[in-house]
Structure 1
Amino acid sequence: MSTQTVATTQTSQDGTASIVRIDVRPDGVAVITLDAPGESVNTLTERFGTDLRAAFDLVTQDANVTAAVLTSGKKDFVVGANIDMLKAITLAADAERLSRDGALAFRAIKASKKPVVAAVHGQALGGGFELALACHAIVASDDKKTLFGLPEVQLGLLPGANGLMRVAERAGLQVALDLGLTGKNTRAAKAKKLGLVDEVAPASILLEVAVKIAKELAEGKPRARPGFKFDGPHLTLLALEKNPAGRALLFRKAREATRKKTHGHYPATERIIDVLERYGDKGFDAAAELEARAFGELVVSETAHRLEEIFFATTALKKDTGVDDPQVKGEVPSKIGMLGGGLMGGGIAYVSINAGVQVRLKDKDDEGVGRGLHYVRGILDERVKKRQLSREERDQLFARLTATTDYSGLRDAGIVIEAVFEDLALKHRVLREVEAVTKEDTIFASNTSSIPIGKIAEASKRPHTVVGMHYFSPVHKMPLLEVIRTKATSPQVVASAVALGKKQGKTVIVVNDGVGFYTSRILAPYMNEAAYLLSEGVPIETLDRALVDWGWPVGPVTLLDEVGIDVAAHVGPIMLEAFGERLTPPDTMSKLVADDRKGRKNERGFYLYGKNAKGKKKAVDPSVYTTLGIEPKVGAPVLAEELQMRCSLQFVNEALRCYGEGILRTPRDGDIGAIFGLGFPPFRGGPFRYVDTIGAAEILRRTQSYYDRFGKRWEPAPLLVEMAKKGSRFY
């Protein structure tokens, strides 16, 4: 169908190219296209709002227009508010005004007598989703990349343009709480099932379906929405959401669950619950008033600043090739070899086939190969169960994985990754065998967590092709990949390892070689200090609780059980040999190993597992104290801050040593590695941001006080001493 373009909307009021274009069709439907000039995506800015309001004023005043369809000229609809704009705001009042202005603009769309339909292809996130929700109907493409979500909580914010209330209007308070508190994305089909989307259509006819619905609405034909059904979910909805007592219970449970998860460190979660509770009790307008004030306060909060900095850091890493020479470009191989079918090998194989790469998995025997194949298939089956994949898609992915007990099929692999046991002699043997059957330029990557890559490369005929690729377990869930380069590793090899990691969906940092690299090295003194605290009689659950309260995802003792006591016992001597007295452990690990305690894997650790576990609540195995020869000081006063500082400052001090010794390229990489690989509290910004926040002089004072008490293991990093003296910062 031919269209007539309204040329007056091609420029903004200031004479520059407009973000919005209007094309009026002969049938009276105005197609409003959002297309920010010179930008890869549409984001909400003040300029965006001005142009959008001007466009809707023209549509409203044009007698020839009966309805409108809102669409995008980009690959995505609108991906949310512009983060640069938010970060530049210093006053809560300015952020509050921004929220009110955005909400008023969207309310004007909702109040329009001419129906407006959103035609959404690609991502509609944050303010983009709120914009779509303000329209009279939403039509979404059935493309996998079409996603809806309110991710503001991940930046320490809440949706600021009435999106929470509009989700509640369409799908209920429980759905609004879920989307708001998790920040998760929802695909088009699920969004339609929830009532958030009116229609799903193939991308090729998305616009025409949206136009059809817009014309029907203009003609006064009502759109049928899913009505109340007398089934379990709807009866629950009626009981919980439609009466004051039920709502009170719903919000009390939401607060309890949220506080248990956040420990009060993420105020946006509390404000999201506040706004939705106000909506349930007093209605839309009262909730909108509270929302604007809360948005203003959160935008200028320390938590939001730290989380925004993480966002910018990860965005920058997406563009970082891992090498300084801009001429060097990494190449993602079409096929890789994977040596080892355990949890690490299976996990790496999965993220590789999921990235479109062919994988040849090798293990020493049929049992090992079977374990690897079973592990990958299990992840795929779980995705089918969650309706993230169809059975056909699962089978197509699984077909990219083949297996062997010898080296057949590895000749054409661009990268071979080994995840065999942490034994240098074994890794040397495997490296020589790989080089004997692969091409001269095949990259050999080790997934070791502690052995220097340079030592592994000593067995290589082509050490420039040897690199470290340190993944974290479980590989399909943990976001970080640590790429380790030796002095001999070529820039091309580093860039290719980084490129593969990004293709696998990882956030990638590149570090220089050394024992433990960066992440394993900074974790070692943290865990070591926890062992000293246990040896002093601090109860296991008291120690874990204190560190979780500080912001770590799990306590150090729980982490030791999860990683494996045997693994830690193996890595410990390597660290001790490299760093000497600073990492001398208390005599606890050897006692645990002698008692065959490996942690969760053999259901013998610090906590009870399997049939010995009592109820759902995790409980300490009291016999572990006997094994360690320790009498826990139950009931004795223990300052949580003392436990938190002794573990966390060891971690921070070692991170500064790594940067001072040139292991890290930048403080940014150190912060991202600590957060994404080891769970350093995101709201604290990483160890380097934390030093800037507290001040190097204060960090030194605290570290020095522990040095005076405990000696060599607390020796302050030389860089910390220097920074405290100069009053300098990392950022």
Structure 2
Amino acid sequence: MSDLIHYRLDDGLALIGLDRAPVNALDQSMRAAISEACERAACDPRVQAIVLHGERGLFSAGADIREFGTDASFAEPDLPSTLVRLAEIHKPVVAAIGRLALGGGLELALACGYRIGEPGTRLGLAEISLGLLPGAGGTQRLPRLIGVESALNMILSGEQVDAQTARLLGILDRIAPSAEQLLEEAKAYAYELIGCCAPARPAEAWPEPAEGLPDDFLAHYRAEHEPRWKSRLAPRLVLSAMEAACLLPLEEGLAREMALFKRAEASRQSKALRHVFFAEREAARIPGIGEDIRLRRIAKVAIIGAGTMGGGIAMNFANAGIPVALLEREGEALERGLTQIRKNYEASLKRGKLTAEQMQQRMELLFGTLDYADLADADLVIEAVFEKMEIKQQVFRMLDKVCKPGAILASNTSSLDVDAIAAVVSRPQDVIGLHFFSPANVMRLLEVVRGQATAPDVLATTMAIARRIGKLPVISGVCFGFIGNRMLEPYAREAHRLVLEGATPAQVDAVLTGLDLNMGVFSMLDLAGIDVNFLIRSSNRAASAHDESYCRLGDELYAMGRYGQKSGRGFYLYQGRSRQEDDEVMALAERLAGELDVTRRAIGEQEIHDRCLFMLINEGIQLLDEGIALRASDIDLVWINGYGFPAHLGGPMHYAEHLGLDKILSGIQHYRRALGEYGEMWFRPAPLLERLVAAGRSRIERLPAQSAGANLKFLERVR
């Protein structure tokens, strides 16, 4: 018997314990072990029933994702055929589900005739997040257990359900009183089944999965949801599998499901989403810092500034059960900030996301103050004041005086020099940048900016606390705009320039949303605020002083007081949330083009795509070469989670690899020649891109240059 399985006979029961740390992933070796154990139990006349459980409590978190897209994915015994054989065993099989049954782990449980869980059990089919559909019976067995509508919602959402919900749906037959009693309760359940001569599998709860639904339910579901799916393949394949569950016998439905799964697995979208999955895990790794580093204790947090950003940041910590002191200069501003936080929680309460008790607990963790002395015992202080260097430095000088030794001092800045902020305190090793994205209590991304003097334990502690409050932290070095906003600069620059040359804002945005970005450049700038973008650009004017056309259109709109959605006018006109094109903007663009001697012409979609995306990608490659970004995959995470780049394209760096690095280099060189003086100025290929193409590489990774890069010291420090 494999060492991945603990097999025991216990008075007529075969107890099969899955024992592959940490999550009982169902790779080929585990599948083989389960198959062997179940066959042994099926053939043993002493065994009257089987209990399948997690030897260390946890049942199974599903397939080994590393196998997807490789020959190992369907290496014998593959999971679908293993579960078909399990379902054919002529003895009752009870799944004792401890903690988790996700993906293939839930499909394993569904192949058993009976299921019991512990109170804290969570179940789900999250394959959709990887661009896949359940491929081992999930789309066929689940609708026969809980009906097609409930199964469809569960599979397409990818969300986990708790034990009580699973019991109400019919996924679980019973819930044990506690996790400690799960196995004993499962054994007792098995003995009951033996005692009443229960069949190996009970009759299907929903032999007709679509019973009670209109005949055109699936067609209407598709029509209603397809606009939201955009170009995503996996949801459409799930719907096709559900149609099979409604129309075909189980055996034929399973064959159809497998064919659809293989199509999804081979798709570019699933490959991209699997890239994102592994990128998130890799982002937690800090080169040169081991897991054994001693972290600083974070028991109390302070936030400077109770505005929209500061209040949102404070909510993250309160949500995690961490006390937060919120400081403002004036009582009215403080009261306004605390009131807004309460309103945010009340909105969650109305949506059923919070209970009244949870809301009260979180509000009680928030402490408002006007006195810096009240921050003396804070372990982490985050400054979230106006984005101006002098103001932030003034705050840090005060923090240096009042904060205890060892307190981490963080600046929430979207673009400013963290080293210049650290330079004004006596303990620069304790200073770090934290770029929260707005709304801070919702957006998952957190850029963690490591300064030249930032101590390793400060960086490691910050990464850990970020994950504790539910953020996805990505490390950046110090430069203007860090990873995300620095890449936004050339992306937005090309969009502005294209409008001067003859495109419309709506035309530019349509190309980008056609690629499934959440929004185009101009709708994004209108949402964020043209005034905000102007102030960020103004702090980096030196980079564009030699080009009069650089975002001139945005500057003019700022001067006109057209700040975007909040003023009702920006690149578009707004009535509520609806927007429409504005002839005044096009007239302004035409006038500016004349003043700047920019030739206007018809602009094609491919040119819009290439100029915006190639310059975005080029800047990302340059960031990697400089060591500002540790990994190309980190850049992908920033743009997916902070700027709405579609995850099913894998992020801009992964998308570049799909397009071909040689194609991107050739495109940049083409526009360098074709756009005259403007092209010569801005279309400069990143040296790393040129080296990668010259070396015949298809993946974006660091290659050594003949001379030292701009941030060699940063690279040496993180290695």
Question: 1:539: Cα distance to partner?
Answer: 3.3
Tell me which residue corresponds to 2:210: 241
CA 1:533–1:435 in structure 2 vs 1: closer, same or farther (change >3 Å)?
A: same
Tell me which residue corresponds to 1:51: 33
CA offsets 1:11-58 (integer angstroms, 9 cap, x no match): 32xxxx2x22233333x343322111xx21111112212211222223
Tell me which residue corresponds to 2:690: 721
Question: 1:721: Cα distance to partner?
Answer: 2.5
Distance in 2 separating the partners of 1:142 and 1:599: 49
8 Å CA contact 1:80–1:125 kept in 2: the answer is: yes
Secondary structure in 2 matching 1:597: coil
CA 1:323–1:511 in structure 2 vs 1: closer, same or farther (change >3 Å)?
A: farther
8 Å CA contact 1:369–1:403 kept in 2: the answer is: yes
Distance in 2 separating the partners of 1:680 and 1:582: 28
1:548 equivalent among 513, 516, 530: 513
Is 2:172 aligned against 1:205?
no
Question: 1:242: Cα distance to partner?
Answer: 3.3
Question: 1:485: Cα distance to partner?
Answer: 1.7
Question: 1:507: Cα distance to partner?
Answer: 2.1
Tell me which residue corresponds to 2:90: 113
Aligned residues: percent identity? 32
CA 1:376–1:34 in structure 2 vs 1: closer, same or farther (change >3 Å)?
A: farther
Is 2:65 aligned against 1:72?
no
8 Å CA contact 2:23–2:61 kept in 1: the answer is: yes
8 Å CA contact 1:96–1:296 kept in 2: the answer is: no
Tell me which residue corresponds to 2:308: 343
RMSD: 3.1
Tell me which residue corresponds to 1:292: 258
Secondary structure in 2 matching 1:675: helix
Question: 1:241: Cα distance to partner?
Answer: 3.1
Matches within 5 A, 1:348-387: 348-385=313-350, 387=352
CA offsets 1:518-552 (integer angstroms, 9 cap, x no match): 11100121122222233344333332221112131
Secondary structure in 2 matching 1:409: helix
1:154 equivalent among 110, 118, 129: 129
Distance in 2 separating the partners of 1:514 and 1:601: 30
2:102 equivalent among 108, 121, 125: 125
Distance in 1 separating the partners of 2:515 and 2:467: 31
Tell me which residue corresponds to 1:214: 190
Any gaps of 5 or more consecutive residues in structure 1? 1-10, 229-236
Matches within 5 A, 1:699-710: 699-708=664-673, 709=675, 710=678
Tell me which residue corresponds to 1:651: 616
Distance in 1 separating the partners of 2:291 and 2:14: 45
Secondary structure in 2 matching 1:203: coil
Distance in 2 separating the partners of 1:306 and 1:132: 29
Secondary structure in 1 matching 2:670: helix
8 Å CA contact 1:334–1:414 kept in 2: the answer is: yes
One-letter amino acid of the counterpart of residue 552, structure 1? L
CA 1:282–1:541 in structure 2 vs 1: closer, same or farther (change >3 Å)?
A: farther
Matches within 5 A, 1:326-725: 328-385=293-350, 387-578=352-543, 580-581=545-546, 585-607=550-572, 609=574, 612-613=575-576, 618-620=578-580, 622=582, 625=585, 628=588, 639-708=604-673, 709=675, 710-711=678-679, 712-725=681-694
CA 1:370–1:165 in structure 2 vs 1: closer, same or farther (change >3 Å)?
A: farther
Question: 1:161: Cα distance to partner?
Answer: 0.5
CA 1:322–1:726 in structure 2 vs 1: closer, same or farther (change >3 Å)?
A: closer
Matches within 5 A, 1:162-311: 162-201=137-176, 202-218=178-194, 219-220=196-197, 241-242=210-211, 246-247=214-215, 249-264=216-231, 266-311=232-277
CA 1:373–1:623 in structure 2 vs 1: closer, same or farther (change >3 Å)?
A: farther
CA 1:425–1:701 in structure 2 vs 1: closer, same or farther (change >3 Å)?
A: same
Question: 1:130: Cα distance to partner?
Answer: 0.7
CA 1:639–1:283 in structure 2 vs 1: closer, same or farther (change >3 Å)?
A: farther
Tell me which residue corresponds to 2:6: 21
CA 1:724–1:61 in structure 2 vs 1: closer, same or farther (change >3 Å)?
A: closer
Secondary structure in 1 matching 2:480: coil
CA offsets 1:549-602 (integer angstroms, 9 cap, x no match): 213122212211221211111111223324654795232223322333333334
Q: TM-score, normalised by structure 2?
A: 0.88
Question: 1:637: Cα distance to partner?
Answer: 7.3
Distance in 2 separating the partners of 1:179 and 1:489: 44
Secondary structure in 1 matching 2:66: helix
Distance in 1 separating the partners of 2:265 and 2:632: 24
8 Å CA contact 1:592–1:627 kept in 2: the answer is: no
Distance in 2 separating the partners of 1:381 and 1:115: 48
Question: 1:432: Cα distance to partner?
Answer: 1.4
8 Å CA contact 1:30–1:65 kept in 2: the answer is: yes
Tell me which residue corresponds to 1:102: 79
CA 1:322–1:188 in structure 2 vs 1: closer, same or farther (change >3 Å)?
A: farther
Secondary structure in 2 matching 1:715: coil
One-letter amino acid of the counterpart of residue 63, structure 1? P
Secondary structure in 1 matching 2:375: coil
Tell me which residue corresponds to 1:8: none
Question: 1:85: Cα distance to partner?
Answer: 2.1
CA 1:64–1:389 in structure 2 vs 1: closer, same or farther (change >3 Å)?
A: farther
Question: 1:698: Cα distance to partner?
Answer: 1.5
Any gaps of 5 or more consecutive residues in structure 2? 593-600, 702-719
One-letter amino acid of the counterpart of residue 135, structure 1? C
Tell me which residue corresponds to 2:712: none
Is 2:7 aligned against 1:30?
no
Secondary structure in 2 matching 1:118: strand
One-letter amino acid of the counterpart of residue 86, structure 2? I
CA offsets 1:583-626 (integer angstroms, 9 cap, x no match): 952322233223333333344444555xx34xx8x331536537
Across the two proteins, how many residue pairs are aligned to each other? 685
8 Å CA contact 2:315–2:341 kept in 1: the answer is: yes
Question: 1:393: Cα distance to partner?
Answer: 3.6
CA 1:672–1:584 in structure 2 vs 1: closer, same or farther (change >3 Å)?
A: farther
CA offsets 1:301-349 (integer angstroms, 9 cap, x no match): 332222222222212233x246546664433411111112223222221
Distance in 2 separating the partners of 1:726 and 1:349: 48
8 Å CA contact 2:506–2:581 kept in 1: the answer is: no
Distance in 2 separating the partners of 1:207 and 1:326: 34
One-letter amino acid of the counterpart of residue 58, structure 2? D
Distance in 2 separating the partners of 1:142 and 1:703: 58
Secondary structure in 2 matching 1:475: coil
CA 1:571–1:193 in structure 2 vs 1: closer, same or farther (change >3 Å)?
A: same
CA offsets 1:336-384 (integer angstroms, 9 cap, x no match): 1111222322222122223332211112233332343344444544554
Question: Comparing 522-531 with 484-493, which one deviates more in the overlay?
Answer: 484-493
